[in-house]
């Protein structure tokens, strides 16, 4: 029997997990495991089982729970024995993970005492590997929490001890990797920050070490009203002077042969430019969505009453001031579907940016739908989204290394997170728990969610974000709705009078209920705002769902209504007239269904391949690659060799895309500075491949040297394709696509030339030397080994593990084939072009743009998407159907996406 409490409570027997359905049984077992091999009095068991006042029968219920627990554990239940005034769980050192943790920790301390630091690090890593999260995660009552907190503190001390030993061993990079995330989870733990600063300084990353210090100092002042301890202040002064940092036990010197880091003011400029970029991004979105034309509909809110605090109420104009005045800058915005949560988040972001002072944190509005809290820490996800949306921040020469992470961990970003309810149901509890843990120190946060979904999560997870002020959006007042709807009608027009009369006479009718959310009011304005449209059509609906569906269905047709274009129209900023409402509804419906199946709100062009079934897309790529190699083999020696080439390389492409990792877009820009070392390493690797191929096919010395130079350059030149030194401050899907396309075509073209040159040479100039011929001289094992190694290196260079295996096998199968030399001088050229084309295509589809291109062509050819997809998406963005969030698009509202995904046919 194995018990685990370093994380969630788990019990396993013979590899199978034993479920304890009753929370009371779980708490009883937790109390016994926290005091393993010691007596737990019944009174303490009562405190552990009941958070509040225990019932009169508490003692009897404890006995019943222990009895049920023994029965549930089977044979291991005998380890729970009655001992005097309570119960004792007898556990060996291998039965309970907390005992194993302490055993490893004691062994590590002993090894360190013997000056065996490398062994001590391995031992303490084994201890830390037992942890899966906070001790007894999700199961803490007041009584259990105290003992669990002791374990958590022991873990934190072990992390710091491991970091200190690794610094003595000269492993600062590993310390930075581990402590960056740990300090994000423990934002005011001073020793952890001191060790992280030392590690960064030893790597020559002085600006980042200074940023860690300033972030800690700000949090300590805000939360505790104190300054960092003297050791931290002295270390910071020495870092600024690039001198020797103080170390608790052994003095060490900062490395002197390091590159000069960027000046601190460059990182300050990153903060200012991020603020400017976010302002431009959301100001453009507000304009495209006509949020100021007419004035935004009045969104009124009221805060949940909290003891000792005044009641808060207000509207859009008040929300930024209210947030700035909160004692803890955490705001939770709740509302019904379509109540205006996203609009409030957007307007709050813009207002906070408008009143922002230099050096203040930057509000960044993000959709939560793309975050998986089970796999990615919140701060890591925030940094990744900053990098995706604003790639210029990744320019190390301008802002230092990993500026997005430093912005997040340094407290320079206020996350405005929209749509907790839009996350998959099974992730909401984990997300809220992660938010609570990360933001527990009082970091600034704005979070929006539908009320029902948030309350459900709260019931499952217990109290979270207790310091946050909860704001609930109120229904739209009918007079304000009418004012908004009729704001742009001319003098003397009374088209909205029938609607106004119905709302006054029957406020509880379907029309009155539906027009109580800003989304539906805005859709009504779009549907009936044009002259000639009759709002009286709204009066005949007798059901809320029917009326909502009608308004949602009218959105796309009205957005794509054909209207005369004014002279002098700017095609770069105005919608085009090339799409009909029927076409738009068909294509948008397909994209909406794709996002619903992916459980996402982010429409990213590089993830479009997921809209094609996995077998279909793998077969499609495999078939395209196979075509080039079939032609190559046919020209070489007829249909037999054509089949071998086609199956081997087509199969490699199929398996790579079936089981390999999907490509993500890379940001490419020609860069020479600081790349000499990597260039030399890549050149050497390419040269080895060229020599292997040249010698394997018995080419002349001059040709081998030529191949070595060509392959060396092909492998090395891509070191120069690095993150951009200058990118658009507000990344867009189009700019990311164009940037990625440049790198993909350059990479594919270089391999086309190099491998095409080799195959043409092999066909034309091979000396036909046989090394280890088999199968009657038709296959050579030595050539197979050379081809396999070259294929494996080629595959690893393209897509790592899976591709290395697949293309290594393909290279061995095809490379070992022996065929006669060319008799026609034109044939080597044809063979080289076909072979190089196949290799180039294989490379292209391992890049995000090539993968997108192939699958987009397939989807367009089958009528599911337009041929010029990015132009269509950009047009939909201009019409307000989509919104742009950095490098991805999103539907304007989740309800619109859900309605389009449902397959309803809009009126046209």
pLDDT of residue 899: 87
Q: What confidence tier does 290 reach under pLDDT thresholds 50, 70, 90?
A: low
pLDDT digits (tens, 9 = 90+) for 667-691: 554 454 455 677 787 788 778 877 8
How is residue 275 written in tokens?
């603020």
b/e per residue 113-136 (b: at least 16 CB within 10 A): eeeebeebbebbebbbeebeebbb
Q: Rounded mean pLDDT of 717-727?
A: 50
Q: Rounded mean pLDDT of 852-869?
A: 91
Q: What confidence tier does 858 reach under pLDDT thresholds 50, 70, 90?
A: very high
DSSP 459: H
Question: What mean pLDDT is reported for the chain?
Answer: 78
How is residue 191 written in tokens?
């020793």
DSSP 660: S
Contacts of 464 (CB under 8 A, 6+ apart): 432, 433, 435, 436, 458
How is residue 784 written in tokens?
């197979």
- The DSSP string of 739-756 is HHHHHHHHHHHHHHHHHH
- pLDDT above 70 covers what percent of the chain? 85
pLDDT of residue 74: 73
Q: What confidence tier does 571 reach under pLDDT thresholds 50, 70, 90?
A: very low
Indicate the Cα dihedral angle 110, 112, 118, 121, nearest 10°. 70
- pLDDT above 90 covers what percent of the chain? 4
| CA–CA dist 400, 406 (Å, integer) | 9
Number of residues assigned to the chain: 908
The answer to whether the CB of 171 falls within 8 A of the CB of 76 is: no
Q: Rounded mean pLDDT of 549-561?
A: 82
The answer to whether the CB of 825 falls within 8 A of the CB of 842 is: no
| Closest residue by Cα to residue 290 from 491, 559, 493 | 559
Q: Rounded mean pLDDT of 486-492?
A: 55
Alpha-helical segments (H) within 862-901: 869-878, 894-901
The answer to whether the CB of 868 falls within 8 A of the CB of 875 is: no
The dihedral sign for the CA sequence 779, 781, 783, 786: positive
DSSP 720: G
Q: If you average pLDDT over each of 31-45, 183-197, 762-776, 811-825, which comes out highest?
A: 183-197
Q: Is the pLDDT of residue 265 over 50?
A: no
The dihedral sign for the CA sequence 569, 572, 574, 579: positive
pLDDT of residue 499: 80
**Token pair 């994209």 in the structure block, residue:** 591
Contacts of 240 (CB under 8 A, 6+ apart): 206, 210
Q: If you average pLDDT over each of 286-295, 479-488, 681-690, which comes out highest?
A: 681-690
HSE value, Cβ hemisphere, 13 Å, CA-based, for 560: 25
| Closest residue by Cα to residue 495 from 504, 487, 486 | 486
Q: Is the pLDDT of residue 254 over 50?
A: no
pLDDT of residue 362: 92
Residue 68 φ then ψ, to 5°: -65, -35
- In terms of DSSP bridges, do strands 721-722 and 669-670 run parallel, antiparallel, or are they unpaired? antiparallel
Q: Is the pLDDT of residue 259 over 80?
A: no
3 state SS of 243: coil
CA 148 to chain centre: 31
pLDDT of residue 857: 92
Q: Is the pLDDT of residue 83 over 60?
A: yes
pLDDT of residue 564: 52
| CA–CA dist 12, 744 (Å, integer) | 49
Least confidently predicted of 264-273, 484-493, 616-625, 697-706? 484-493
Integer CA distances (angstroms), 771 to 494, 698, 761, 767, 813, in order = 94, 10, 19, 12, 16
CA 165 to chain centre: 32
**Token pair 């961990």 in the structure block, residue:** 409
| CA–CA dist 588, 891 (Å, integer) | 9
pLDDT of residue 266: 64
3 state SS of 365: strand
pLDDT digits (tens, 9 = 90+) for 105-150: 888 888 887 778 888 888 888 888 888 888 887 776 767 777 777 8
The dihedral sign for the CA sequence 400, 227, 178, 406: negative
pLDDT of residue 886: 60
- Tally of CB atoms within 10 A around 167: 19
CA 615 to chain centre: 25
Q: What confidence tier does 71 reach under pLDDT thresholds 50, 70, 90?
A: confident
How is residue 133 written in tokens?
């999260």
- The DSSP string of 387-405 is HHH-GGGG-HHHH-TTHHH
pLDDT of residue 831: 79
| CA–CA dist 83, 592 (Å, integer) | 63
Least confidently predicted of 26-30, 528-532, 845-849, 869-873? 528-532
Q: What confidence tier does 250 reach under pLDDT thresholds 50, 70, 90?
A: very low
Helix, strand, coil percentages in the chain from 3-state DSSP, rounded to 5? 60, 10, 30
pLDDT of residue 76: 65
pLDDT of residue 907: 36
Q: Rounded mean pLDDT of 336-340?
A: 76
Indicate the Cα dihedral angle 640, 642, 645, 650, nearest 10°. -120
The answer to whether the CB of 779 falls within 8 A of the CB of 817 is: yes
Q: Rounded mean pLDDT of 456-485?
A: 78
pLDDT of residue 262: 45
Q: Is the pLDDT of residue 487 over 90?
A: no
| CA–CA dist 688, 533 (Å, integer) | 73
Q: Is the pLDDT of residue 627 over 50?
A: yes
pLDDT of residue 253: 36
**Token pair 């401050």 in the structure block, residue:** 729
DSSP 75: G
Q: Is the pLDDT of residue 298 over 80?
A: no
pLDDT digits (tens, 9 = 90+) for 599-617: 888 888 888 888 888 888 8
| CA–CA dist 760, 743 (Å, integer) | 26
Q: Rounded mean pLDDT of 294-310?
A: 71
How is residue 176 written in tokens?
């930075």
Q: What confidence tier does 844 reach under pLDDT thresholds 50, 70, 90?
A: confident
Q: What confidence tier does 906 reach under pLDDT thresholds 50, 70, 90?
A: very low
Higher pLDDT, 521 or 724: 521
Residue 662 φ then ψ, to 5°: -65, 140
| CA–CA dist 404, 172 (Å, integer) | 20
pLDDT of residue 467: 82
Integer CA distances (angstroms), 737 to 732, 750, 842, 868, in order = 9, 20, 19, 13
Contacts of 725 (CB under 8 A, 6+ apart): 395, 397, 398, 669, 671
Q: What confidence tier does 721 reach under pLDDT thresholds 50, 70, 90?
A: low
pLDDT of residue 859: 92
Integer CA distances (angstroms), 439 to 319, 583, 678, in order = 21, 45, 40
Higher pLDDT, 287 or 833: 833
> Which H or E element spans position 323?
helix 316-325
Q: Integer distance in angstroms from the first to the last C-alpha of the chain? A: 66
pLDDT of residue 300: 81
pLDDT of residue 847: 84
pLDDT of residue 646: 86
Contacts of 148 (CB under 8 A, 6+ apart): 5, 34, 134, 135, 136, 140
| CA–CA dist 790, 707 (Å, integer) | 13
The answer to whether the CB of 579 falls within 8 A of the CB of 874 is: no
Q: Is the pLDDT of residue 337 over 90?
A: no
Integer CA distances (angstroms), 57 to 61, 63, 85, 87, in order = 6, 10, 17, 18
The answer to whether the CB of 468 falls within 8 A of the CB of 331 is: yes
Integer CA distances (angstroms), 181 to 30, 159, 220, 372, 829, in order = 28, 11, 18, 16, 55
Strand partners for 41: 86
| Closest residue by Cα to residue 718 from 743, 695, 693 | 743
The dihedral sign for the CA sequence 623, 625, 630, 635: positive
| CA–CA dist 388, 816 (Å, integer) | 44
What is the model's pTM?
0.53
DSSP 694: H
pLDDT digits (tens, 9 = 90+) for 772-822: 778 777 787 877 887 788 788 777 877 777 888 888 888 888 877 776 766
Strand partners for 17: 12
| CA–CA dist 340, 516 (Å, integer) | 11
How is residue 340 written in tokens?
């205006």
> Which H or E element spans position 470?
strand 469-473
């Amino acid at each position: 029997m194995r018990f685990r409490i370093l994380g969630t409570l788990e019990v396993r027997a013979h590899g199978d997990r034993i479920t304890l359905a009753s929370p009371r049984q779980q708490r009883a077992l937790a109390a016994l495991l926290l005091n393993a091999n010691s007596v737990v009095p019944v009174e303490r068991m009562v405190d552990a089982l009941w958070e509040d006042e225990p019932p009169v029968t508490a003692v009897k219920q404890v006995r019943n729970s222990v009895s049920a627990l023994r029965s549930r554990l089977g044979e291991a239940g005998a380890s729970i024995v009655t001992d005097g005034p309570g119960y004792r769980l007898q556990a060996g050192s291998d039965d309970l993970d907390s005992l194993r943790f302490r055993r490893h920790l004691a062994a590590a301390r002993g090894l360190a005492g013997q000056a065996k630091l490398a062994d001590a690090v391995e031992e303490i890593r084994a201890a830390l590997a037992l942890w899966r999260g906070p001790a007894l995660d999700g199961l803490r009552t007041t009584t259990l929490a105290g003992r669990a907190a002791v374990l958590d503190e022991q873990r934190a001390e072990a992390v710091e001890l491991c970091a200190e030993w690794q610094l003595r061993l000269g492993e600062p990079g590993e310390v930075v990797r581990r402590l960056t995330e740990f300090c994000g989870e423990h934002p005011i733990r001073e020793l952890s920050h001191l060790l992280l600063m030392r590690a960064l300084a030893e790597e020559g990353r002085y600006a980042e070490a200074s940023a860690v210090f300033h972030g800690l100092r700000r949090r300590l002042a805000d939360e505790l009203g104190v300054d960092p301890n003297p050791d931290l202040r002295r270390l910071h002064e020495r870092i600024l002077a690039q001198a020797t940092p103080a170390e608790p036990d052994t003095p060490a010197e900062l490395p002197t042969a390091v590159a000069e880091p960027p000046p601190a003011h460059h990182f300050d400029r990153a903060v200012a430019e991020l603020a400017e970029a976010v302002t431009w991004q959301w100001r453009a979105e507000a304009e495209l969505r006509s949020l100021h034309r007419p004035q935004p509909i009045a969104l009124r809110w009221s805060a949940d009453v909290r003891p000792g605090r005044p009641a808060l109420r207000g509207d859009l104009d008040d929300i930024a001031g209210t947030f700035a005045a909160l004692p803890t800058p955490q705001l939770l915005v709740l509302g019904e579907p379509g109540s205006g949560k996203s609009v409030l988040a957007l307007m709050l972001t813009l207002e906070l940016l408008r009143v922002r002072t230099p050096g203040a944190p930057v509000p960044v509005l993000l959709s939560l739908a793309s975050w998986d809290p089970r796999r990615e820490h919140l701060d890591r996800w925030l940094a990744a989204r900053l990098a995706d949306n604003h790639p210029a921040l990744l320019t190390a020469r301008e802002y230092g290394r990993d500026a997005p992470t430093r912005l997040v961990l340094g407290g320079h970003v206020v996350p405005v997170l929209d749509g907790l309810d839009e996350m998959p149901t099974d992730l909401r509890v984990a997300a809220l728990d992660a938010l609570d843990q990360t933001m527990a120190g009082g970091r600034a946060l704005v979070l929006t969610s539908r009320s029902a979904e948030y309350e459900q999560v709260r019931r499952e997870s217990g109290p979270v974000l207790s310091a946050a002020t909860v704001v609930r959006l109120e229904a739209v007042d009918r007079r304000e709705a009418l004012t908004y709807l009729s704001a742009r009608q001319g003098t003397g027009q009374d088209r909205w009078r029938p609607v106004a009369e119905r709302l006054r006479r029957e406020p509880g009718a379907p029309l009155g209920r539906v027009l109580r959310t800003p989304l539906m009011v805005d859709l009504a304005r779009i549907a009936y705002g044009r002259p000639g449209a009759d709002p009286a059509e709204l009066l005949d609906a007798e059901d809320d769902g029917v009326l909502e569906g009608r308004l949602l269905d009218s959105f796309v047709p009205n957005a794509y209504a054909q209207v005369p274009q004014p002279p002098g129209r700017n095609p770069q900023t105005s919608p085009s007239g090339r799409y009909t409402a029927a076409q738009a509804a068909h294509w948008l419906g397909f994209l909406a269904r794709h996002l619903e199946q992916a459980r996402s709100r982010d429409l990213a062009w590089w993830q479009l391949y997921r809209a094609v079934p996995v077998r279909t897309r793998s077969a499609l790529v495999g078939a395209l690659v196979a075509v080039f190699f079939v032609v190559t083999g046919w020209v070489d020696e007829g249909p037999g060799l054509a089949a071998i080439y086609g199956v081997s390389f087509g199969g490699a492409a199929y398996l790579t895309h079936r089981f390999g990792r999907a490509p993500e877009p890379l940001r490419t820009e020609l860069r020479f500075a600081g790349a000499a070392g990597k260039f030399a390493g890549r050149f050497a690797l390419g040269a080895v491949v060229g020599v292997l191929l040249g010698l394997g096919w018995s080419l002349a010395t001059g040709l081998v040297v030529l191949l070595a130079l060509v392959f060396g350059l092909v492998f090395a030149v891509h070191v120069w394709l690095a993150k951009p030194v200058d990118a658009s401050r507000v990344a867009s899907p189009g700019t990311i696509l164009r940037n990625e396309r440049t790198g993909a075509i350059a990479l594919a073209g270089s391999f086309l030339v190099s491998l095409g040159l080799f195959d043409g040479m092999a066909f034309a100039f091979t000396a036909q030397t046989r090394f280890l011929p088999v199968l009657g001289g038709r296959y050579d094992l030595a050539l197979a080994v050379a081809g396999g190694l070259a294929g494996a290196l080629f595959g690893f260079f393209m897509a790592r593990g899976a591709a290395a295996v697949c293309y290594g096998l393909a290279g061995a199968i095809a490379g070992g084939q022996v065929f006669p030399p060319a008799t026609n001088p034109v044939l080597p050229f044809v063979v080289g072009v076909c072979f190089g084309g196949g290799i180039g295509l294989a490379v292209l589809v391992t890049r995000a743009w090539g993968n997108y291109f192939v699958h987009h062509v397939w989807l367009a050819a089958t009528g599911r998407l337009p041929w010029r997809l990015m132009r269509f998406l950009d047009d939909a963005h201009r019409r307000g159907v989509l919104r742009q969030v950095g490098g991805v698009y999103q539907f304007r509202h989740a309800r619109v996406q859900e309605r389009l995904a449902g397959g309803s046919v809009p009126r046209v």
